[in-house]
Structure formats: structure tokens, C-alpha cells
Structure 1
Amino acid sequence: MSAETEFELPQLYRYHVFACHTQRPPTHPHGSCGASGAQALSDRMSKAIEAQGLNDVGFTTAGCLGFCNAGPLMVVYPDGVWYRATTPDDVDEIVMSHLKEGKRVDRLVMVLKRS
């Protein structure tokens, strides 16, 4: 597409959450979000988004997000905020604060760096 034919794409979601769901054996040296309870947290996130009627929030379980030992991880776009939620209450707080009210949950934010 050339610059002369620019157009604006419609935004499908106000937020889109991707949650790692990778499951490795418990003894794997990289660890995994699945081994850290990601399944139950993903289920909680999906149900909480639906219960709050957040039809403008997408939720996708994903494969490895690349920071295995830090898990369970999720990232919220378009903000690019990475969260480490380890309890159902953490998930509920992310849904209510970030996804519903637009306020980042600083205590759960992960600052990740590629080595």
C-alpha cells in the first residue's frame, strides 16, 4: 500500500489481553506459566470480563510470551502493560481497574527486559 492510499483501520477492541498458557514439565529449566497456575487465572479472567459486560475487551490465551520464569504473565494492549497475576483477586483487580476503569494496577506490573 502506498502512502497516498492511507486509511484508518477500525479498532475492534478498546483493550486486548493476551495471557500465556504454555505448560511445560515442572522440572523444565525455563519454567512455565501453566505450571504456575495460568489455567485457573485465564478461566477467571475470561469469566470476569464477561460478567462485567466488557464487550470491547478481547481476551486470548497465547503460547509462550518469552519470560517463562516470571509467570504467570499477561499483557494488555494497546497499552503494552505486562502483569503478573498470581491470585484470583489479582485478576479481578486488573479487570475492574485497568479494563473497566482504565487505571493501571501498578503493584502487579512487570517491568521486563530482553537480555
Structure 2
Amino acid sequence: MGTRHDDDPALYFSTHVFVCGNRRPEGHQRGCCASKGSEKIRDYMKARVKELGIEGVRVNQAGCLDRCELGPCAVLYPEGVWYKLDSFEAVDEVLEKHIQAGGRVKELMLP
């Protein structure tokens, strides 16, 4: 894993959230995050960040993050922490406890 160096430019976003939006054919053995509602989760998270006035956070859709069976999933950088975001309540908890308070939501974290 890369590490930041003192002479690196400042982070453009304090937190960059990638929400998997991968869609596989129906019935695929690994499933996919899109079929589990990841697009609605991403849209909700983007709206909540704006509503709450959280600055320096960017929420993006990602292609396959290769954790299909555990999804819908998201990864937050620069920490590289992975979460299962399967409800709007899960999104709110991650926004409050991880992004705003700097903690973690252990019960939602992916191994």
C-alpha cells in the first residue's frame, strides 16, 4: 500500500467514497452490488452529504470493487476502510460516525 509523503500535494478531498455500481447478468453466481440497490445508496449518500453540509467529501460510483458477495459495498479513502452499505440507515451511520466524527462503524465494516 502506498504511503503519503511530506512533499505530496494536499488531499483534494478529505474523504473520497467509492460506491460499487457494478451490474452483472441476472443469476450470476457472485451477484452484484447494483442488483442489491447500490445506485440508490450512492444517490442517497450524495444527497445526505450535501444536505448535512459536509465539506471535502466526494461520493462517486465505482465499477466493480471485486467484493460482490459482500455488497452493496463502498470504500472510503484515504483510509481505505470498506463498508457494507445496505440501507439508508447504514449510510447515515457511516456519515455520522466515520466521516464527521472520525471513528469507525465496526458492525458495517467489511473484513
TM-score for the superposition, normalised by structure 2:
0.89
Structure 1 stretches of at least 4 aligned residues deviating more than 3 Å after TM superposition: none
- After TM superposition, give the deviation of residue 30 of structure 1 in Å: 1.8
| Number of matched pairs | 106
* Cα distance, 1:68 vs structure 2: 1.0
Counterpart of 1:33?
33
Q: Which amino acid aligns with 2:46?
A: S
Partner of 1:89: 89
Structure (1 or 2) with the larger CA radius of gyration: 1
Partner in structure 1 of residue 108 of structure 2? 108
RMSD of equivalent CA atoms: 1.3
What is the correspondence of 1:20-59 to structure 2 with a 5 Å cutoff?
A: 20-59=20-59
One-letter amino acid matched to 2:48: A
SS in 2 for 1:27: coil
What's the CA shift string for 1:59-78, capped at 9, x where partnerless?
A: 11100001111110000111
Alpha-carbon separation, structure 2, partners of 1:8 and 1:24: 38
Measure how far apart 1:79 and its partner are.
Answer: 1.0
1:54-73 alignment runs, 5 A limit? 54-73=54-73
**What is the TM-score of this pair, normalised by structure 1?**
0.86
Residues 25 and 35 of structure 1 are in contact (CA less than 8 Å); yes or no, is this contact kept in structure 2? no
Give the unaligned 5+ runs of structure 1.
1-5
Deviation at 1:26, TM superposition (A): 2.6
| Structure 2 gap ranges (5+) | 1-5
Q: Which amino acid aligns with 2:49?
A: I
C-alpha contact 1:75 1:83 (8 A) present in aligned 2: yes
Give the distance between the partners of 2:10 and 2:62, measured in 1 at CA.
23
